[in-house]
Amino acid sequence: MSDIKKVVLAYSGGLDTSVILQWLQDTYHCEVVTFTADIGQGEELEPARLKAEKFGIQQIYIDDLREEFVRDFVFPMFRANAVYEGEYLLGTSIARPLIAKRQIEIARETGADAVSHGATGKGNDQVRFELGYYALEPGIKVIAPWREWDLTSREKLVAYAEAHGISVEMKHKAGGSPYSMDANLLHISYEGKILEDPAREPEEEMWRWSVSPEAAPDRAEYLDLEFERGDVVALNSQRMTPATVLAELNRLGGAHGIGRLDLVENRYVGMKSRGCYETPGGTILLKAHRAMESITLDREVAHLKDDLMPRYASLIYTGYWWSPERRALQTLIDDTQTHVNGWVRLKLYKGNVIVVGRDSRTDSLFDANISTFEDDGGAYQQADAAGFIRLNALRLRIAARLQR
CB 185 within 8 A of CB 66: yes
Q: Which among 20, 65, 16, 22 has a CA at the least distance from the CA of 40? A: 65
User: Who contacts 306 (Cβ-Cβ below 8 Å, separation ≥6)?
Assistant: 81
| 96 among known catalytic residues | yes
Q: How many CB atoms lie under 10 A from the CB of residue 66?
A: 21
Q: Report the pLDDT value the prediction gives residue 174, as an integer from 0 to 100.
A: 42
**pLDDT tens-digit readout, 112-144:** 999 999 999 999 999 999 999 999 999 999 999
Rounded to an integer, what distance in angstroms lies between the CA atom of residue 322 and that of residue 210? Answer: 33
| Residue among 180, 189, 210, 360 flagged as catalytic | 180
Range 224-248 average pLDDT: 98
Please determine, for residue 209, whether its predicted confidence score (pLDDT) is greater than 60: yes
Range 255-275 average pLDDT: 97
Range 70-91 average pLDDT: 98
**pLDDT tens-digit readout, 365-396:** 999 999 989 998 899 999 999 999 999 999 99
| Residue among 66, 96, 274, 358 flagged as catalytic | 96
Please determine, for residue 14, whether its predicted confidence score (pLDDT) is greater than 90: no
Q: How many residues does the chain have?
A: 404
CB 54 within 8 A of CB 32: no
CB 239 within 8 A of CB 233: yes
Q: How many CB atoms lie under 10 A from the CB of residue 335?
A: 9
Distance (Å) of CA 217 to CA 79, 261, 333, 339: 30, 20, 37, 36
| 210 among known catalytic residues | no
C-alpha of 268 from chain center: 16
> Could you tell me the fold of the domain covering 180-297+339-359?
Argininosuccinate synthetase, chain A, domain 2 (3.90.1260)
Q: Report the pLDDT value the prediction gives residue 178, as an integer from 0 to 100.
A: 64
Rounded to an integer, what distance in angstroms lies between the CA atom of residue 201 and that of residue 210? Answer: 16
Q: Report the pLDDT value the prediction gives residue 172, as an integer from 0 to 100.
A: 44
CATH classification of 6-69+93-163 is 3.40.50.620, yes or no? Answer: yes
The arrangement of strands across the sheet holding 238-239 comes to: 238-239, 231-235, 221-228, 342-349, 352-359
| 307 among known catalytic residues | no
Confidence of residue 15 (pLDDT cuts 50, 70, 90): confident
Q: Report the pLDDT value the prediction gives residue 187, as an integer from 0 to 100.
A: 97
Rounded to an integer, what distance in angstroms lies between the CA atom of residue 251 and that of residue 354? Answer: 17
**pLDDT tens-digit readout, 288-344:** 999 999 999 999 999 999 999 999 999 999 999 999 999 999 999 999 999 999 999
Identify any residues that bridge with 224 across adjacent strands, giving them in sequence order: 345
CB 193 within 8 A of CB 182: no
| 376 among known catalytic residues | no
Please determine, for residue 273, whether its predicted confidence score (pLDDT) is greater than 80: yes
Rounded to an integer, what distance in angstroms lies between the CA atom of residue 348 and that of residue 346? Answer: 7
Range 229-240 average pLDDT: 98
Range 140-152 average pLDDT: 95
Q: Report the pLDDT value the prediction gives residue 155, as an integer from 0 to 100.
A: 82
Burial of 377 (0-12, 13-18, 19+ CB in 10 A): exposed
Confidence of residue 93 (pLDDT cuts 50, 70, 90): very high
Q: Report the pLDDT value the prediction gives residue 33, as an integer from 0 to 100.
A: 98
Q: Please provide the DSSP assignment of 190-223 as one string.
A: EESGGGGSTTSPPPGGG-SS---GGGS-SS-EEE
Confidence of residue 169 (pLDDT cuts 50, 70, 90): low
Range 243-257 average pLDDT: 98
Please determine, for residue 173, whether its predicted confidence score (pLDDT) is greater than 70: no
Rounded to 10 degrees, what is the CA torsion of 276, 279, 282, 286?
50
C-alpha of 383 from chain center: 49
CB 73 within 8 A of CB 98: yes
| Residue among 12, 79, 93, 125 flagged as catalytic | 125
Distance (Å) of CA 195 to CA 112, 181, 334: 39, 12, 38
Indicate left, alpha or beta for 266 from its phi (over 0: left) and psi (-120 to 50: alpha): beta
The rounded percent of the chain whose pLDDT value lies above 90 is 87
User: Who contacts 225 (Cβ-Cβ below 8 Å, separation ≥6)?
Assistant: 232, 234, 235, 284, 285, 288, 343, 344, 346
Distance (Å) of CA 203 to CA 89, 188, 244, 262: 22, 15, 30, 12
* Torsion 45-47-50-52 (CA) sign: negative
* Torsion 318-324-327-333 (CA) sign: negative
CB 142 within 8 A of CB 130: yes
Confidence of residue 158 (pLDDT cuts 50, 70, 90): confident
Burial of 89 (0-12, 13-18, 19+ CB in 10 A): buried
Please determine, for residue 1, whether its predicted confidence score (pLDDT) is greater than 60: no
Q: Report the pLDDT value the prediction gives residue 294, as an integer from 0 to 100.
A: 98
Rounded to an integer, what distance in angstroms lies between the CA atom of residue 400 and that of residue 395? Answer: 9
Please determine, for residue 181, whether its predicted confidence score (pLDDT) is greater than 60: yes
Range 205-232 average pLDDT: 98
What mean pLDDT is reported for the chain? 94
**pLDDT tens-digit readout, 22-77:** 999 999 999 999 999 999 998 889 889 999 999 999 999 999 999 999 999 999 99
